[in-house]
Chains A and B, each alone.
Chain A
Amino acid sequence: MKLAYWMYAGPAHIGTLRVASSFKNVHAIMHAPLGDDYFNVMRSMLERERDFTPVTASIVDRHVLARGSQERVVENITRKDKEENPDLIILTPTCTSSILQEDLQNFVNRASLDSKSDVILADVNHYRVNELQASDRTLEQIVRFYLEKAKLKNELNIQKTDKPSANIIGIFTLGFHNQHDCRELKRLLTDLGITINEILPEGGSVTNIKKLPNAWFNLIPYREVGLMTAKYLQTEFDMPYVAVTPMGLLETENCIREIITVIKNYEPSYDFDFESYIDTQTRFISQAAWFSRSIDCQNLTGKKAVVFGDATHAVSMTKILSREMGIRVSCSGTYCKHDADWFREQVDGFCDEVLITDDHTQVADMIARIEPAAIFGTQMERHIGKRLDIPCGVISAPVHIQNFPLGFRPFLGYEGTNQISDLVYNSFTLGMEDHLLEIFGGHDTKEVITKSLSTDSDFEWSPEALSELQRIPGFVRGKIKRNTEKFAREQNIKTITLEVMFAAKEAVGA
């Protein structure tokens, strides 16, 4: 048992549901107790979905515990088949089904006899994988299912398209800025003269999966979802894939270079002047390169930052801050424990220390210890930052509704670099502004404490009290000092000793 208050990655079934509901005309049926369809709320609220989330539950209740759920599961599948005519129904196990140990595969086999739609059982185990691993697995499972099916039916055409083309794999619902990233990636590929073959799973149709092998290669923008599918397609169909996340100027360039290499492999005569494309984009279309030269960014040099998030975003952000902006990343971390080795390797040389944990209290302690000038993390880090008075830019899931902006906010590609520059700059200047306000009396000070600045106050601080003051984290030190002196003034105390400090602390409860 583990005492837990908060988690970064959700349970496995969420991953499966995210993939399933991203496809068009795919319905997921959860084998779960009443109340576990909370996913529908999240999708409807966070994504502001206009359509009903294609997820229902086959409810596990007392009756089911006593009699088994076969009858009900089969009935629910065939009912959904008739009501919605989906192409595919995915039976999704939950923590509850993991321990009931019923033969869900058998129910699926039974139900598929009476259903027009395909029916599969998501192959995920609640106790072994988390949300992200499950989504990766489910996507691969669906792709494999349809390609094998096409092969059996002799419907598989693995001929490549005439012009260079790509599949984008891993864009899905409730993903951090995924919709915007997708649009930006399409633009990038179009610029390179590459057509989009299929995008999976968001908005994709399972009937089109058999066309995947027609693309020249697969682009996997995120580390968390899509790699399994890419590897499967590579082994089965000899399809190359590019898995460099095009986030930040340098990595976008790397990604483009890899894509070009892949294409030249097929078509040596492909003559796109990518050198000048990259150069123009970097120096003139994107503002990020110019921003790092500008005096604004100069002021950020050597400032301390902390980065935490999923593997993709934390790695990219760490590299951007340290390589492209000259910011010192004191600690870079991820909650993707299953991908720790890759993470370490990627951020090596770009940060002082690495933290791999899914325990948010460890992250909070690290931040409190380092006292960075800004944090780049998830919603959790934003709240830690609030408590410690450190600004935070949100760069990764888990996220809130405000991280599903209506406006165009990609993190990837050249437009992404602009967005990231804004995010970084705003986080730091906010912090600076706050700091200045703090020094000059604070913007929410309700009463005048003293006419002069507290630095030239007429109090005597005993050496012990002074060293205690030095131990207080910088961002609250000024406040504590002021509060203590205010207290001393009220009490008519001239010399501030340790006792006075503590009494002042008790008096204001801070």
Chain B
Amino acid sequence: MKNSKITNTLTFDCETGNYHTFCPISCVAWLYQKIEDSFFLVIGTKTCGYFLQNALGVMIFAEPRYAMAELEEPDISAQLNDYKELKRLCLQIKHDRNPSVIVWIGTCTTEIIKMDLEGMAPKLEAEIQTPIVVARANGLDYAFTQGEDTVLSAMVQRCPTSSINEKQEQKSSLVLFGSLPTNVATQLNLELERCGIQVSGWLPSQRYVDLPVLNETVYVCGVNPFLSRTATTLMRRRKCKLISAPFPIGPDGTRAWLEKICDVFGVKPIGLVERENQIWESLQDYIALVRGKSVFFMGDNLLEISLARFLVRCGMIVYEIGIPYLDKRFQAAELDFLEKTCHQLNVSMPRIVEKPDNYNQVQRIRELQPDLAITGMAHANPLEARGINTKWSVEFTFAQIHGFTNARDILELVTRPLRRNQALQNLGWNQLVKS
């Protein structure tokens, strides 16, 4: 064996939590687009508004179905009545947009002043006759994509327990959870259909009024690694049966995900191995670029474990997987898969760093000089100026990366800086800061 220093198990560290990530309220950006009849009201301050306006960029000019309920000084000092204020704003929203649901996003400020959103919502809902869902997606408790987790877990409560045609529902059905662009959801539906499994619904659905039926006969399976609260709520509140699988990211992940579901439903999938191989075959040009290259995940969106696992399978060496928060139970199958993949390819296990410290990470990056750092936009340009190739992590959240069909898109992102290098490499301008 050439590699005697291989660590055989994954190591887990935890640092200071001083890292850069998006505030979880950013989930409104993709959720309002996904749930077409919704309206998201973020109850917070100018700080929250400023973040959304800048992070959402041009989307903001397209009359989005979201708004800030901006808290002003009298709201903070309780001179104004929260309930009356929210009622005024919600009536206006109802009048202007007539949504099927208003989602209240609680923020740091509503937490600190202990605004009782959960208490007020049912009353106001009854009064204005529009459902109000409350999600506390604040920066005190969560990071970036976890915002979606809080919204979906609040939506679980709103799903019907039985359909109109109840008898037909006796046999077990499958509901997938996680917000994906509609065409990606359709692709996954089709992959399952090929295996002979019918998806009976998605959480979230494209319209709020079409939320799926959830009860003890329903199997649920997640499509994204940051949905641990939603999973817990599905099991505890709706007695759904959770299928724990790796996530359908990369052809390897997709096959493992499908196989696990098939296994639960007692179906023998046909042709999956061939399908996976076919996809790998089609990725060869990109894989040639990444093979043997090293990568460092600074960590900010919780997709890191799955992406790292896929990249190891592509022949990359992963030095570090930073991750905001790791639910070892919800990600158990994925962690296991990562470990197996490393064994199979005979590469050393990456170090997993929960709540990373960006300052320390930059020191480690300087030492390790990885071929690629996957990082937030705050660090990307400064690292590039120091000759480190970077890929902005946020793009992985907005690109289509699930299923067999989209594996190429992941590599498209990962190889972009490497391909740029091929074009520019002989110019000798890699170090662009004065030392």
Whether A3 lies near B112 (C-beta < 8 A) is no
Per a CB cutoff under 8 Å, which of B359, B376, B379, B380 touches A83? B359
Q: Known interface pairs A3-B67, A35-B21, A51-B433. Does A10 touch B60 (Cβ–Cβ under 8 Å)?
A: no
User: Residues of A contacting B362 with CB < 8 Å?
Assistant: 52
Q: Known interface pairs A33-B140, A99-B112. Does A4 touch B382 (Cβ–Cβ under 8 Å)?
A: no
Whether A36 lies near B23 (C-beta < 8 A) is yes
Whether B51 lies near A38 (C-beta < 8 A) is yes
Minimum CB distance partner of B376 in chain A: A41
Minimum CB distance partner of A57 in chain B: B18
Whether A33 lies near B108 (C-beta < 8 A) is yes
How far does the Cβ of B271 sit from chain A's closest Cβ, in whole Å?
Answer: 44
Whether A34 lies near B23 (C-beta < 8 A) is yes
A53 at interface (Cβ–Cβ under 8 A)? yes
The interface size of chain B toward A, counting residues with CB under 8 Å, comes to 62
Give the distance in Å from the alpha carbon of A360 to the alpha carbon of B182 in the complex.
33
A60-68, A136-144, A177-185, A346-354 - the one binding chain B: A60-68
CB interface residues, B 45-86, toward A, < 8 Å: 45-47, 49-51, 53-55, 57-58, 60-61, 64, 67-73, 75-76, 80, 85-86
Whether A11 lies near B60 (C-beta < 8 A) is no
Q: Known interface pairs A33-B108, A42-B54, A44-B377. Does A4 touch B139 (Cβ–Cβ under 8 Å)?
A: no
Q: Known interface pairs A50-B381, A50-B382, A57-B18. Does A99 touch B76 (Cβ–Cβ under 8 Å)?
A: yes
Whether A52 lies near B379 (C-beta < 8 A) is yes
Whether A4 lies near B21 (C-beta < 8 A) is no
Q: Mark B21-52, 1 if CB is under 8 A from A, else 0.
A: 11110000000000000000001011101110
Number of interchain pairs (Cβ within 8 Å): 158
Minimum CB distance partner of A43 in chain B: B378
Q: Mark B331-343, 1 if CB is under 8 A from A, else 0.
A: 0000000000000
A126 at interface (Cβ–Cβ under 8 A)? yes
How far does the Cβ of A57 sit from chain B's closest Cβ, in whole Å?
Answer: 7
Give the distance in Å from the alpha carbon of A351 to the alpha carbon of B86 in the complex.
39
How far does the Cβ of A22 sit from chain B's closest Cβ, in whole Å?
Answer: 17
A37 at interface (Cβ–Cβ under 8 A)? yes
User: Residues of A contacting B54 with CB < 8 Å?
Assistant: 38, 41-42
Give the distance in Å from the alpha carbon of A369 to the alpha carbon of B71 in the complex.
31
Whether B51 lies near A36 (C-beta < 8 A) is yes
CB interface residues, A 286-328, toward B, < 8 Å: none
Whether B140 lies near A62 (C-beta < 8 A) is yes
Give the distance in Å from the alpha carbon of A23 to the alpha carbon of B57 in the complex.
28
Minimum CB distance partner of B63 in chain A: A5
Whether B141 lies near A52 (C-beta < 8 A) is no
Whether A2 lies near B69 (C-beta < 8 A) is yes
Minimum CB distance partner of B92 in chain A: A3
Per a CB cutoff under 8 Å, which of A3, A32, A45, A57 touches B89? A3
A71 at interface (Cβ–Cβ under 8 A)? no
Q: Known interface pairs A33-B139, A34-B21. Does A95 touch B46 (Cβ–Cβ under 8 Å)?
A: yes
Give the distance in Å from the alpha carbon of A214 to the alpha carbon of B139 in the complex.
46
User: Residues of B contacting A152 with CB < 8 Å?
Assistant: none
How far does the Cβ of B226 sit from chain A's closest Cβ, in whole Å?
Answer: 15
Give the distance in Å from the alpha carbon of A61 to the alpha carbon of B21 in the complex.
14
Whether A127 lies near B23 (C-beta < 8 A) is no
Q: Known interface pairs A61-B17, A95-B109, A99-B109. Does A4 touch B49 (Cβ–Cβ under 8 Å)?
A: yes
User: Residues of A contacting B424 with CB < 8 Å?
Assistant: none
Give the distance in Å from the alpha carbon of A70 to the alpha carbon of B60 in the complex.
38
The interface size of chain A toward B, counting residues with CB under 8 Å, comes to 52
User: Residues of A contacting B80 with CB < 8 Å?
Assistant: 1
Give the distance in Å from the alpha carbon of A1 to the alpha carbon of B432 in the complex.
47
A497 at interface (Cβ–Cβ under 8 A)? no
Give the distance in Å from the alpha carbon of A60 to the alpha carbon of B23 in the complex.
13
B345 at interface (Cβ–Cβ under 8 A)? no
CB interface residues, A 41-92, toward B, < 8 Å: 41-42, 44-45, 48-53, 56-57, 59-62, 65, 76, 83
Whether B141 lies near A96 (C-beta < 8 A) is no
Whether B71 lies near A1 (C-beta < 8 A) is yes
How far does the Cβ of A463 sit from chain B's closest Cβ, in whole Å?
Answer: 34
Whether B70 lies near A4 (C-beta < 8 A) is yes
A257 at interface (Cβ–Cβ under 8 A)? no
User: Residues of A contacting B180 with CB < 8 Å?
Assistant: none
Give the distance in Å from the alpha carbon of A254 to the alpha carbon of B184 in the complex.
62
How far does the Cβ of A288 sit from chain B's closest Cβ, in whole Å?
Answer: 32
Q: Mark B279-296, 1 if CB is under 8 A from A, else 0.
A: 000000000000000000
User: Residues of A contacting B359 with CB < 8 Å?
Assistant: 56, 83
User: Residues of B contacting A10 with CB < 8 Å?
Assistant: 46, 50
How far does the Cβ of A6 sit from chain B's closest Cβ, in whole Å?
Answer: 6
A14 at interface (Cβ–Cβ under 8 A)? yes
Give the distance in Å from the alpha carbon of A59 to the alpha carbon of B85 in the complex.
30
Minimum CB distance partner of A131 in chain B: B50
Minimum CB distance partner of B147 in chain A: A35
Give the distance in Å from the alpha carbon of A65 to the alpha carbon of B139 in the complex.
12
Give the distance in Å from the alpha carbon of A36 to the alpha carbon of B80 in the complex.
26
Whether A1 lies near B86 (C-beta < 8 A) is yes
Whether A50 lies near B433 (C-beta < 8 A) is yes
A112 at interface (Cβ–Cβ under 8 A)? no
Give the distance in Å from the alpha carbon of A32 to the alpha carbon of B53 in the complex.
19
How far does the Cβ of A102 sit from chain B's closest Cβ, in whole Å?
Answer: 11
Whether A45 lies near B381 (C-beta < 8 A) is yes
B113 at interface (Cβ–Cβ under 8 A)? yes
Give the distance in Å from the alpha carbon of A100 to the alpha carbon of B19 in the complex.
22
- A interface with B by C-beta (< 8 Å): 1-7, 10-11, 13-14, 32-38, 40-42, 44-45, 48-53, 56-57, 59-62, 65, 76, 83, 94-96, 98-100, 126-128, 130, 380, 383, 386, 400
- B interface with A by C-beta (< 8 Å): 17-24, 43, 45-47, 49-51, 53-55, 57-58, 60-61, 64, 67-73, 75-76, 80, 85-86, 88-89, 92-93, 108-109, 111-113, 138-141, 143-144, 359, 362, 376-382, 385, 432-433
Given pairs A38-B51, A60-B108, A96-B112, 9 additional interface contacts (CB within 8 A): A1-B43, A7-B49, A41-B20, A51-B382, A52-B362, A65-B112, A96-B108, A126-B45, A127-B76
Q: Can you report 10 A-B residue pairs in the complex whose CB atoms are below 8 A from each other?
A: A1-B43, A11-B45, A33-B23, A34-B23, A34-B140, A48-B381, A59-B18, A95-B108, A99-B109, A126-B46
